[in-house]
Amino acid sequence: MRNPAPKDAAELEALEQREWRESLDYVIQQGDRGRVQRLLATLRHHARMSGVALPFSAVTAYVNTLRPDEEIPLPGSQEIERRIKSLIRWNAMAMVVRANRVSDGIGGHISTYASAATLYEVGFNHFFRGKGREGDGDIIYFQGHASPGIYARAFLEGRLTQEKLENFRRETKPGGGLSSYPHPWLMPDFWEFPTVSMGLGPIMSIYQARFNRYLEDRNLKKPSTTKVWAFLGDGETDEPETLGAITLASREKLDNLIWVINCNLQRLDGPVRGNGQIIQELEAIFRGAGWNVIKVLWGSDWDPLLAKDHEGLLAKRMGEIVDGQYQKYAVESGAYFREHFFGADPRLLEMVKHLSDDELKRLRLGGHDPSKVYNAFKHAVETKGQPTVVLARTIKGYGMGEAGEGKNITHQQKKMNEEDLRSFRTRFGIPISDEQIADAPFYRPSDDSPELQYIRERRKALGGSVPTRVVRVEPLKAGLDGVFEEFSKGTEGRKASTTMVFVRMLSKLLRDKEIGELVVPIVPDEARTFGMEALFRAVGIYSHVGQRYEPVDMDTLLYYKEAKDGQILEEGITEAGSLSSFIAAGTAYATHGVNTIPFFIYYSMFGFQRVGDLIWAAADSRTKGFLLGGTAGRTTLAGEGLQHQDGNSLVYSLCYPNCLSYDPAYAYELAAIIQDGIKRMYHDQESIFYYLTVMNEQYEHPEMPKGSREGILKGMYKLKPAPAGNAKLRAQLFGSGAILNEVVKAQDLLQKYGVAADVWSVTSYTELYREGHACERWNMLHPTEAQRVPYVTQCLKDAPGVFVAASDYCKVLPDSIDRWTPRKIRTLGTDGFGRSEDRASLRNHFEVDARFVALATLAELQREGQIDAKVVAQAIKDLGVNADKADPAKA
């Protein structure tokens, strides 16, 4: 009898298991994976329909995703590549150590690159394509803290001199230095993408990959095989921005995107998930989000052990250990590893009994094994229809031995004593003598050494050095008078908001023959708020797959039209994502050689305040384009209340050195600023971008006063001179944005008190402030030359009377120019929390309406002794001001 009756349930189950496995093996042997997948899917479905709940698991076992038989041998010379990598390791370490000797506390990171060296070197030798090939080459976001390694390679490639390396983190030294992290602002020929604010590199890379598709789908660029690589830390994945947009990448099937997460299991203070497993956690997240996940956990040394692991004991043990414990193994001896890891089961001990303690200690992890990394990258590059994440396991501070390998303090490690240096040198075979070692000298073999020849040959074959930032775009020539001319006429009696005016400008720009196709409107689900829905139909909303449904509003004129060549980036509710698109579009002049002009319009309060760090990265990236803070102004956006009403953004914008910000009141002001902005950014090629407020209060827009253009751009011009006459009491009133109209009204009110006031439109306090300081600085440094006079001073030098400014922003904004005005300015502004109310009530609450402008003027005249206190007291009554009202700054 071949199949005796089973004795008990356990035996029966064992038999069942075997039979089913054999059946499956049969199908597998037929060699058609699709068949296996379909069969298992059918079984799963069948079980579920029969009431068997199958546990969901998005994780696979704690072993490599790719099986050894799926791998191909690493091409090229492993030995030379290892030597090159060792030299780079050494120089990267020496750079940090030397910098800290010269200047204690200058900082720098050794341990991040030490753990990631293999990941980068496999990329540099086999994958990263430079710009010298067809297309653009690859787009690479290097992990910020790994920059010493990237510099060290550039040194070997002959791109950076030793002097530059000596001046790592000492950028103001003669001859220049190297910036701590990737900063295109500081090293515009080298770095392309700033990454060091954790989480920003990852999200920017996703939108960059999507923007590449956008350019191709809209025929602004030839289809290319460009890959976007992003290297990040495992600790970095805790930043909400890192993982917050990963579903966009899978939804859009961005197979041009590859992330490499350096899973050294540590962040700065300690383990990333001491009590868990960051790699398994990330696998589940990425798989759940639809990414292709490749785990590279174990090096080739482990393959024979895993091949013997028929019962899955080793894999099971690997999956049981938490990261904090793995970190302990990394710092302990081979004997400890044997006892505590393999010692859990005699069969595991048996498995490794042929290996000495030393050999056990040297079993390499996947992220340090070039062959494993190469195969993972190859698989990633070849993957279709999905983005890929490579989860590579490494050891932080790899190679640093006692000086910090795998230890919690390793991130802080900036110094190494002679002993540490000697063992590092010996471990990596760097030809530096014992006499020289204490110096930690840089080492570069001769140009004709096999290592440098190999490096040159590989980079040549891959299209040149990376990273390299080049601007390959022709300046735009379009003057655009045809687009902007109409706005100088004003609205001829009709009421409009500056937002409506802007939308009209944008529509005209989109239709312009010269630049229309380059305009990239970006919105985070607010297009209707800003009255932009007409653009949906006119230019379409970008979608790689077009529109696969019939929109509910199809029968209306302005239906929601998605199209493959759609021009609008409608990002949904993500300011961070929209800003990442803004950066991709605003840097395309360098990344792609295409002059795309982004206009990102959003709820102003959710800009600088919400995603200010991304705007900072945009500034560093030399992004061009226009940020438009919609529904701007603390009292101009009625109703929405505390969270929405923005009196902050213009103050923040002041700190972004290459961001020009304006608060325009009238159509012609906005037109002059945007027209000049396009010229400065895309014709003159200045590395600047703009923040403009646009409001939703509707009012009439006057005709452009003659000769006002220069003042509009510089920041102020006289809008309405005081009525003719010989009034003794005089004032200069400054207004901006929607509050300008209140100031114009105050001019009238003040006449009743015998005060003749000139009204100025201040389009940009920030520009006036910068120019004032620039003049002073120049004067200080050139004391014997003719002293420069700030523009504000020039405007006001003969202006009579007291000075009063009213703004919908915090008072510090008008206060900022006080130094250059002939007399002190009394400022009215909107310090304090907003609240839900109508405009009139809000302006009363914040004390910025016409009455308060008039009152402040009278108060200032009283202070100067020009009028009696009684006049002011009477005005308070006449104007209906409640003198006992709460102070809005504190309310």
Ligand X SMILES: Cc1ncc(C[n+]2csc(CCOP(=O)(O)OP(=O)(O)O)c2C)c(N)n1
Of these partners, ligand X, Mg ion, none, which one is at the site of residue 375 (CB under 5 to 8 Å by kind)? none
> Which H or E run contains 523?
strand 519-523
Q: How many other C-beta atoms lie within 10 A of the C-beta of residue 381? A: 17
Residues in the chain: 891
Q: Alpha-carbon distance 106 to 415, whole Å?
A: 11
Which amino acid belongs to residue 146? A
Does 636 sit near ligand X (CB under 6 A)? Answer: no
Does 148 sit near ligand X (CB under 6 A)? Answer: no
Does 197 sit near ligand X (CB under 6 A)? Answer: yes
CB 253 within 8 A of CB 386: yes
Of these partners, Mg ion, ligand X, none, which one is at the site of residue 491 (CB under 5 to 8 Å by kind)? none
Q: How many other C-beta atoms lie within 10 A of the C-beta of residue 863? A: 13
Does 578 sit near ligand X (CB under 6 A)? Answer: no
| Residues engaged in binding Mg ion (CB under 5 A) | 233-235, 264, 266
Nearest to 822 by CA among 743, 732, 724, 727: 732
Of these partners, Mg ion, ligand X, none, which one is at the site of residue 393 (CB under 5 to 8 Å by kind)? none
Strands 495-496 and 569-570: unpaired
Q: Can you tell me whether residue 524 is helix, strand or coil?
A: coil
Shortest CB 264 distance to Mg ion, Å = 4
Does 179 sit near ligand X (CB under 6 A)? Answer: no
Of these partners, Mg ion, ligand X, none, which one is at the site of residue 112 (CB under 5 to 8 Å by kind)? ligand X
Shortest CB 272 distance to Mg ion, Å = 6
CB 173 within 8 A of CB 140: no
CB 429 within 8 A of CB 83: yes
Q: Alpha-carbon distance 591 to 137, whole Å?
A: 10
Does 196 sit near ligand X (CB under 6 A)? Answer: yes
x/- track of binding to ligand X for residues 218-257 (CB under 6 A): ---------------xxxx---------------------
x/- track of binding to ligand X for residues 764-803 (CB under 6 A): ----------------------------------------
Shortest CB 82 distance to ligand X, Å = 21
Q: Alpha-carbon distance 517 to 403, whole Å?
A: 56
x/- track of binding to ligand X for residues 366-405 (CB under 6 A): ------------------------------x---------
Does 581 sit near ligand X (CB under 6 A)? Answer: no
Structure tokens at 825: 């300015």
Residue with smaller CB distance to ligand X, 147 or 266: 266
Strands 825-828 and 802-806: parallel
Q: Alpha-carbon distance 480 to 673, whole Å?
A: 12
Shortest CB 234 distance to ligand X, Å = 5
Of these partners, Mg ion, ligand X, none, which one is at the site of residue 694 (CB under 5 to 8 Å by kind)? none
CB 463 within 8 A of CB 129: yes
Residue with smaller CB distance to ligand X, 192 or 239: 239
For 45-60, what is the HEC assignment? HHHHHCCCCCCCCCCC
Beta bridge partners of 562: 541
Residue with smaller CB distance to ligand X, 124 or 769: 124
Q: Which DSSP category does 551 fall into? A: -
Piece of 192-200, 529-537, 768-776, 833-841 that binds ligand X (CB under 6 A)? 192-200
Shortest CB 46 distance to Mg ion, Å = 43
Nearest to 260 by CA among 239, 290, 286: 286
Phi, psi of 484, rounded to the nearest 5 degrees: -95, -15
Of these partners, Mg ion, ligand X, none, which one is at the site of residue 198 (CB under 5 to 8 Å by kind)? ligand X
Residue with smaller CB distance to Mg ion, 264 or 736: 264
Q: Alpha-carbon distance 530 to 4, whole Å?
A: 79
Does 262 sit near ligand X (CB under 6 A)? Answer: yes
CA–CA distances in Å: residue 428 to residues 69, 331, 419, 440: 30, 19, 14, 14
Question: What are 844-849's contacts with CB under 8 Å, separation 24+?
Answer: 845/635, 845/885, 845/888, 845/891, 846/634, 846/635, 846/888, 847/888, 848/635, 848/739, 848/742, 848/806, 848/807, 848/808, 849/742
Residue with smaller CB distance to ligand X, 198 or 348: 198
Question: Binder to ligand X among 267, 634, 701, 720 (CB under 6 A)?
Answer: 267
> Which H or E run contains 756?
strand 755-762
Longest Cα–Cα distance in the chain: 126
Q: How far is CA 165 from the centre of its chain?
A: 27
CB 611 within 8 A of CB 173: no
Shortest CB 620 distance to Mg ion, Å = 23
Of these partners, ligand X, Mg ion, none, which one is at the site of residue 313 (CB under 5 to 8 Å by kind)? none
Does 268 sit near ligand X (CB under 6 A)? Answer: yes
Residue with smaller CB distance to ligand X, 234 or 283: 234
x/- track of binding to ligand X for residues 403-432 (CB under 6 A): ------------------------------
Residue with smaller CB distance to ligand X, 614 or 805: 614
Residue with the shortest CB distance to ligand X = 233
Shortest CB 621 distance to ligand X, Å = 16
Residue with smaller CB distance to ligand X, 86 or 262: 262
Which amino acid belongs to residue 394? T
Residue with smaller CB distance to Mg ion, 118 or 167: 118
Residue with smaller CB distance to ligand X, 116 or 569: 116
Question: Binder to ligand X among 64, 65, 147, 266 (CB under 6 A)?
Answer: 266
Residue with smaller CB distance to ligand X, 200 or 670: 200
CA–CA distances in Å: residue 464 to residues 116, 127, 131, 193, 449: 22, 12, 6, 18, 19
Question: Binder to ligand X among 167, 180, 250, 264 (CB under 6 A)?
Answer: 264
Residue with smaller CB distance to ligand X, 194 or 235: 235
Q: Alpha-carbon distance 479 to 514, whole Å?
A: 10
Q: What is the CA radius of gyration of the chain?
A: 33
Does 112 sit near ligand X (CB under 6 A)? Answer: yes
Shortest CB 63 distance to Mg ion, Å = 21
Shortest CB 229 distance to ligand X, Å = 16
Please give the size of the binding site for ligand X, defined by CB under 6 A: 16
Shortest CB 100 distance to ligand X, Å = 17
Does 300 sit near ligand X (CB under 6 A)? Answer: no
Shortest CB 198 distance to ligand X, Å = 4
Site residues (vs ligand X, CB under 6 A): 112, 145, 196-198, 233-236, 262, 264, 266-268, 272, 396
